[in-house]
């Protein structure tokens, strides 16, 4: 469930990934803000990409810049209106 504040999902070590993305499935009836942050050390992060996921919709959020660690944060777009989301992280390593 989303809240009025961003909630960070566990960080992914993406150092050895060539392609990766987050699928955000909005299972509820309120829009969601999905934000990707990147960072060099698993502690310090900056915002890379942000998407609005409409109620009942889905978005694939793909980082634009690279750092070793990547994480997704979600929150309710409209204050006081939580909604349920499912998030999938998928990656590929090309050798």
At 60 the pLDDT is 98
- Give 7's strand partners: 74
Model pLDDT for residues 56-94, shown as the tens digit of each residue: 999 999 999 999 999 999 999 999 999 999 999 999 987
Query: In the chain, how long is the greatest CA-to-CA distance?
Result: 46
Q: Are strands 69-76 and 32-39 parallel, antiparallel or unpaired?
A: antiparallel
pLDDT tens figures, 3-39: 999 999 999 999 999 999 999 999 999 999 999 999 9
DSSP state of 31: -
pLDDT at 94: 73
């Amino acid at each position: 469930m989303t809240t009025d504040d961003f909630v960070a999902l566990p960080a992914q070590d993406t150092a050895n990934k060539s392609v990766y993305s987050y699928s955000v499935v909005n299972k509820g009836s309120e829009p969601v803000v999905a934000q990707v942050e990147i960072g060099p050390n698993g502690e310090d992060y900056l915002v890379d990409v942000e998407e609005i996921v409409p109620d009942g919709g889905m978005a694939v959020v793909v980082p634009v810049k690279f750092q070793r660690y990547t994480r997704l944060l979600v929150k309710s777009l409209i204050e006081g209106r939580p909604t349920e989301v499912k998030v999938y992280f998928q990656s590929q390593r090309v050798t």
